[in-house]
Amino acid sequence: MTTYSFVDQEYTYTQSGNNIYLQGNTVYTVPSGKIAKVKFDSFHLSQSADNTFNNTSAMLYSQGTNSRRKHMFLSYRGDTGDASSLHWYNPMDYRSASFATGNGTTINRYDYTMSAMNQDWSRNGAVDTTPDSNQIYDVAQSIEGSKSLGPDYWYMGAGEVLKVISQSEFASTPSGSFYGNARLMVFLEDA
């Protein structure tokens, strides 16, 4: 029998100088004896002040006993500093539209695969959760705008833990508090 639940998890970001970050916060744990089919809905970043984001990335990944799997990669690059809240949605449900690049051309930004992203997030048996340049995964291949990369659904086994890491960079030290919100639908089957 299939059961399901809506996961609506909220987080408070930690600040360090010109950065804010989440360091491997738990989103969901699959109950024992179950297999989970997870559908990503959205991830949101808001604040209590009026700062503008320069670069942001977030990644949903899972950890098992001896494995780490990347599921969703979200990024924003906006050096003009004109975004005060950020929102990403399931890329299969909400396809990207073309947008002007500023030089008269138009381009789509949803046709990268996750494996194309420059990433140094898991090595030496651990996840790199420090707020450093390793988490600005797409600087080399991004113009301004947001990307949501990942599948419509993914699967997780009993005891596997879904986590999120995230980092945002600002031109100067930001004020106020920052909040993340992950929204997912989880369908459970007996293992």
- Cα angle, residue 119 at apex, residues 115 and 124 outer, rounded to 5°: 115
Specify the DSSP element, H or E, that contains 74.
strand 68-77
CATH number of the domain where residue 185 is located = 2.60.120
Distance CA(158)–CA(72), nearest Å, equals 20
Is the residue at 67 inside a domain?
yes
The whole-number pLDDT of residue 101 equals: 54
Count of domains observed in the chain: 1
pTM over 0.95: no
48 domain residue, yes or no: yes
pLDDT at 94: 73
Residue 81 lies in a domain: yes
- Is 136 a domain residue? no
pLDDT given at position 107? 55
Neighbours of 146 (CB within 10 A): 18
Task: Examine residue 113 and state whether it is found in any structural domain, yes or no.
Answer: no
Question: Closest by alpha carbon to 74, among 108, 29, 42?
Answer: 42
Q: Is the Cβ–Cβ distance between 59 and 74 less than 8 Å?
A: yes
Q: What is the pLDDT of residue 181?
A: 97
54 within domain boundaries: yes
Is residue 25 in a domain?
Answer: yes
Burial 98-116 (b: 16+ CB within 10 A, else e): eeeeeeeeeeebeebebee
The strand pair at 106-107 and 3-12 is best described as unpaired
Which residue segment(s) compose the domain that 178 sits in? 3-97+146-190
How do the pLDDT tens digits run along the chain, 191 residues long? 789 999 999 999 999 999 999 988 999 999 999 999 999 999 999 999 999 988 888 989 998 777 888 899 888 877 666 789 999 998 888 765 545 455 666 555 545 556 655 566 777 777 777 655 554 444 444 556 777 888 899 999 999 999 999 989 888 899 999 999 999 999 999 98
Q: Which two tokens stand for residue 165?
A: 């890491």
Per-residue confidence (pLDDT) for residue 139, from 0 to 100: 47
Q: Does residue 181 sit within a domain?
A: yes
Q: How far apart are CA 104 and CA 92, in angstroms?
A: 28
